[in-house]
Structure 1
C-alpha cells in the first residue's frame, strides 16, 4: 500500500478549510469521480448516509442539487452552482445548504478543486472559503472534517471499481 498524502487544515482567521488528498488512480478517473453524478452518488456522503442527486448539470452556470440521506430517510439538501471549469485541472462552485425545493440558505462557501497527476497518483487540492465564520463553525460542529475524511476514504476504496 502506498503512503498517500491526506492533509486537512482549518484556518478560522481566513475562514478557509484546505484539504489535500492523493489517490492511487489516474487523473481522468479521479476527475470523473468528482464531476459525474453516477460516481458522486456512490461516495459523496459519509456512511451510512447516502447521496442522491436530483439535478446535475456540470457546466459553468449549471448546478448539482442533491440530498444526503440518513438510513432513516432524513434528507439534508445542498446546492452547488458551478462558477468555473477547466477540464481535468480545476473546477469551482458555490455550495449552500438548501431546502427540498432548491432554495439556497445563504451565506454559502466557495469550493475550489485543483487536480494534478504524477506517476499515476492523482492529487486533489481543495480550498473552501466560507463567507461567514458562523457558517464555517456550523460546518465544523456538524462534523464536516470527520464526515469529509470518511467520504474521501470511501472514494479511495471505490475508485478501482469505477470504469474508465
Structure 2
C-alpha cells in the first residue's frame, strides 16, 4: 500500500462495530467492480499467501457469494455472504458468516452485518465498511482472530490488482 492512502481500523465496543475506511488509487466504478464481481474478488479477497475461489455468486438483493480462502497447503476456510440491499456504486449491505463447503453456516463462529459504502475522494475512491456484530464477545473474537492485519493484507492485494487493471 502506498503510505499516503488512508487506512483506518476503528473499534467501537459500545456498538459492537468495526469501521474500516480504506482509500484506493482508482475510480469508484472500478473499485465497486472489484468488490462485486467474482472473477475480480477471486484475485484479491484473502490475505497473502492465501487465495480465494468462488463456488457460487449471485450479486443481487437476496443473492449470495459462497467462497473459500485457500492456504498454499490446500486448507480451505469457507464463507457465505447474503446480499440484502444494493445501490450500485454507492453501497451494499450483507450478512456475512463462516460456513462449510456445502454452505452450512457455522453457528459457533461470529456472523455480522456489513455495510460497504463507496465514495469519491478527489481522484481516488474511499471504501467505508461498517461491520456490526451481535455481541461484544463476537467482536472480540474476530479481533483476536487477526481481523485488522488480515483486512490490511487483503486490501493491499486489492491495491496491486487495481494497479494492474488501470495500466
Same structural fold, with TM-score higher than 0.5 when normalized by the shorter chain: yes
Q: CA deviation at 1:2?
A: 7.3
1:147 corresponds in structure 2 to: 150
Helix, strand or coil at the partner of 1:115: strand
Structure 1: stretches of 5+ with no match in the other structure: none
Structure 2: how far apart are the matches of 1:118 and 1:34? Answer: 18
Structure 1: how far apart are the matches of 2:29 and 2:101? Answer: 32
Normalising by structure 2, we get a TM-score of: 0.93
Normalising by structure 1, we get a TM-score of: 0.94
Q: CA deviation at 1:163?
A: 6.3
Q: What is the root-mean-square deviation of aligned Cα atoms in Å?
A: 1.6
Q: Which runs of 4+ in 1 moved over 4 A?
A: none
2:139 corresponds in structure 1 to: 136
Per-residue CA distance 1:15-40 (angstroms, 9 max, x = gap): 10000011110111000011011111
Structure 1: how far apart are the matches of 2:93 and 2:165? Answer: 23
Helix, strand or coil at the partner of 2:101: coil
Structure 2: stretches of 5+ with no match in the other structure: none
Structure 2: how far apart are the matches of 1:118 and 1:96? Answer: 30
- TM-aligned CA distance change 1:45 to 1:76, over 3 Å: same
Helix, strand or coil at the partner of 1:105: coil
